[in-house]
Every structure is written in structure tokens, then in C-alpha cells.
Chain A
């Protein structure tokens, strides 16, 4: 909140430069086999109402019984956000009517959430990093799903998602640009995936964001905010913020005022629109759920969960920088996914860390991106890539040949060392062979030899010819040195 205003992040209006202030509520689906208060499955993609117990359908007399794993997952997440863990929390009923909410209320946590204040360190593209405050994390039930496009007069309701556990993670209004907001969600998603508490799959709705946006002149108090509901991709979060901030600026500069309201982002139009029907629904009349006792545990329980946590992205990044001498940028790229970092560490073990990072990030990730594959689907194993790097290190192949070798291993597989042997890809370091090739070229091109004496940049042409003559296998350093002495260039 007190961070100095960065002029680069301001949005230009017709009259002034405006600061945009963003806070987020992220709904993250808890990774668990069964639902928060019932024994029905959480698995995605079942037949309509197949993963529904009579509790989820809110049949009379059904009582909720909490899933202990969902509690553990919330505590793990709280620990990952360096947050206060509350040893006592309370479930409340949030009352409203909607066809996909059969109970007529959502079981949520209001005054006493399971997790209190924490923080997330977010790395931005320019190498800067910001700390975003977490206000709270609470457990709640997801609602069912309504389909509106099946029939002109009716909506179809499927309760498979009804009662699945969600963690609502509320940030402080600490974000100042759409880039920061996108980076925050990306980082939060990475942390959740490391922890294994949410799969972060936005396409399946496992991670959804409500974005609170307001604008103000730098140094002024916070403006009136609008809440953009249910944005379901990181790209749309950025777009929604940009368009909403510009809408608000235009209204204020025209002499108008912002009405606090709930809005929806329409990606096809690239703009937000008002959800008028939700206006008066904001009286939720929360009260403690009489069906559930307070949720209580001791510090020993928290400590045991803390012990089982994996190394988290920030710690891993710091370690990669310290152990392998990586740049913060490279380290960030590698720790974005746990599987990427594991792969890198397997390649870098007992090798040059920077060379390993270059190969993993530039060659492997570049190729995976091109093919639209994730690291799990890589055809080149960490062991194979490690061998390729070893072959360069031993001087057996040049860096250029190594790229060809990578290509062969990618498409055909095989043991890199054996491939080099079988295909005669070994680098020629035998100066005699290189010398013979050079002598031949020099003899055939007396005019170029003459020119090169006056214009040393022509050396490049001779290097090219020599490499061509040796099938690209000549050691480039040896070629350079020999050519310089033959042509009399220093």
C-alpha cells in the first residue's frame, strides 16, 4: 500500500495519469478425492449429477461431515503463503438463492477463517519483485454448474461440483498494474502446484479470480472499486483490468462517479459489463452453521504438516542461484514448474550449471514450446541431454554439431554417445586433416587470399569454406588459429 508510485505503471487519461489499484480473490479448488462435507467424488468430467451425494443435493436431514484432508490442504497452503494459521476457525452460512446452490446457503468461513495474514513475493519481467499481502484464506463449498445454452427457456443444473472444497485466497489491494496482477496469479498458481493443494488448471475451473479494480490520482485515497467476477484465464485477467481501468478513468474525467458494483468481463468484446441482478443480493446474513462445530487443532498438527512440505519456488530459486550460479531470470524460468526444476537439477548435477541452464531453457524448452508439449512429455531425457553437454565439454563435438545431435535424439532417440560414433559426428581436432582442407582452399582461391591480407574480415569466408569441406566437424578454434597463420592475419 505504501509502495512508491511507479510512473511507468500509470495509465494515461485525457487529462491526468491515473494509478490503478487491484486486489484479488482467488478461488482455488482443493486437491482431494472427495468433497468438503460429503463422500462424493471430486473428479472432473463425470456424467450429470453422478458425483453427488444427498448431502450435496441438500436433501432434508442430511448433515455435513468435514473431510480432514481438505483441512490439511488449507493449512499447507497457509504455510506456503507464510501466513498465520488459526488454530480455531468457524464455518458460517452465507445465504443466497440460486438454482445451482441447493442448500440456499454456501458453507463458508466469515469472521474466523482457517488462515490469516500472509504474503507472496512476485517476480516481474524486468527483474523487479513486489510483495503482495494476503489478507486471509478460508475454506468453502463450491456451487453446482448451470448450463444456459441447452434450451431457449430453461437452464440445466448439474451438482457434480456442488460441495467440492474451495480455498478463497484474498489479497490486499497491493497490485498496481495488469502485469503485476498476472504475475501474482501466476506465482500463486506455481506455489499451489508445488504444494499439491490445487492443480491450478484454469481451463477446468480449478482456479478462478474475482478482480477488484479502482483508479485514483497518485497519492490520493482509494477510489470506488468494481468487482469483476469469475475471470478464468491469466490473459483475460490482464485484459479485464486494462479495459475496466480505462472505463473508470473515462467516467471520472467526464465528471462522473464510479458506482460500486459487480461486473463481468466479456472476452469477445474486450470489455466489462454490469451484472445488475447481483446488486441487491449482497445481504448474505452470515451466521455460524449450527451443523458444524468449530474447527480446532493444535500446533503439533501444524508442525507435522509443515515438515511434509516440499521445497517451495522461492527457496528453490535462491538455491539454484547459489549452487549453480544462475541468473535470477533463468532461475525463475526453471522454478515455474516443479517438474522443470527437477529436470534441470538432473541435467546440472556434476556439470556446469550455466551450460545446463542454457540447454534446458533455450534448446529444450524452446523445442517443447514449439511442439506445444509440457516438460513431462519431453522425448529427450535429462540423462540424454546431460550426455550431449558432456560431449561438448570433452571436445568430442562442437556446439553446432550438438544442436544437430539434439535434433536426432529428439526425433529418433538413442544414446547420444553412440549416435555420434555411428554417424561420424566427431569433431575433427586433428590439425593435419584441417590443414589439408585449408591448403586446398587457399590453392584454389588465390584472389581471395590476396584480398584477405587487406581485409581481415574475409577470414569468415575461409572459416565457412573450411567447415563446409570438413562436414562441419572441424574444431572451430583450431580452424581459426590455422587460417590466421596461413593467411598471415593476426
Chain B
């Protein structure tokens, strides 16, 4: 598996990362090197082996349905560049 220049630009756009024209070719090389490295895994025969999503044999921890948090709007918006009445303000996005 390898990526072309168009795919590199597309992935960058989807991730909202600005990539200059002269960065595309080096990035394409790096991504393809990574993909080739990972591709070695396909040499392993995994027929009949269930996909593993966790290395620890444990059940997911669950929480009781009680309100334990909130009431901290000041903290929530503390890092925002712009706020009003505890709303975040962002450049207009509208359909």
C-alpha cells in the first residue's frame, strides 16, 4: 500500500493541517516508508485469530448514572480566545 500526492493533500486537509507545496513530496516519502514498515505485519498468518483491541484481559469500567460534574463554565471557557456570557465565540459557521 502506498499513497500518492493527491492522497497526501487530502489527508492533510481532512486533518486541517496546512501543508506547503514543497512539503508534499517529502511527506509522501515518509508516509510510504511508514506504510511499508507496517506492511511487514501482513506476512503473519492470522487466519482464525480474533482481532485484539486491548492487551489487558479486563472488562470496561462503568460509571453510575449520577451527576458528579459541571457548574464550572468559567473553567470550561478559560482558555478560549473569545467568550461572551460563558459561550465560546468562533468565526461564523452557518449553513
Contacts and interface: CB of A to CB of B under 8 A. Distances in A.
Interface in A64-116: 65-71, 90, 95, 97-99
Interface string A10-43: 0000000000000000000000111000111100
Nearest to B54: A293
Nearest to B77: A49
Max count, chain B CB within 10 A of own CB: residue among A41, A49, A71, A97: A49
Contact of B89 (A49, A51, A53, A155): A155
Interface string A264-304: 10000000000101000001010010001111100000000
Interface in B44-95: 53-54, 58-73, 75-77, 82, 84-95
Given A47-B86, A158-B87, A292-B60, A69 B93 contact: no
Given A32-B65, A39-B67, A65-B61, A155 B94 contact: yes
Nearest to B82: A154
Interface size class of B (residues with CB under 8 A): 35 or more
Nearest to A68: B62
A288 B82 CA distance: 33
A37 to B, nearest CB: 8
Nearest to B87: A156
Nearest to A46: B70
B51 to A, nearest CB: 9
Contacts of A57: 76
A294 B58 CA distance: 10
B93 A39 contact: no
Contacts, number: 131
A34 to B, nearest CB: 5
Contacts of A159: 76, 88
Given A32-B65, A97-B16, A155-B92, A49 B60 contact: no
Max count, chain A CB within 10 A of own CB: residue among B82, B84, B95: B95
B41 interface: no
A243 interface: no
A51 B7 CA distance: 40
A131 interface: no
B43 interface: no
Contacts of B53: 90, 288, 293-294
Contacts of B87: 48-49, 147, 150, 156-158
A146 B93 contact: yes
Contacts of B66: 33-34, 39
B76 A52 contact: yes
Given A49-B73, A68-B62, A293-B59, A99 B93 contact: yes
Given A69-B65, A294-B60, A275 B95 contact: yes
A440 interface: no
A30 to B, nearest CB: 10
Contacts of A90: 53
B19 to A, nearest CB: 16
A148 interface: yes
A277 B67 CA distance: 37
Given A49-B73, A292-B60, A153 B84 contact: no
A71 B63 CA distance: 11
A155 B90 contact: yes
Contacts of A285: 14
Interface string B33-45: 0000000000000
A331 B77 CA distance: 52
A52 B60 contact: no
Nearest to B13: A280
Nearest to A66: B62
Contact of B72 (A52, A71, A95, A277): A52
Contacts of A155: 89-94
A66 B90 CA distance: 30
A1 B5 CA distance: 43
B47 to A, nearest CB: 20
Interface of B: 10, 14, 16, 53-54, 58-73, 75-77, 82, 84-95
6 contacts: A39-B70, A151-B92, A154-B90, A159-B76, A293-B58, A293-B59
Interface of A: 32-34, 38-41, 47-55, 57, 65-71, 90, 95, 97-99, 146-148, 150-159, 264, 275, 277, 283, 285, 288, 292-296
Given A49-B87, A157-B88, 10 more contacts: A34-B63, A38-B69, A49-B88, A65-B62, A155-B89, A155-B90, A156-B87, A157-B87, A158-B87, A275-B95
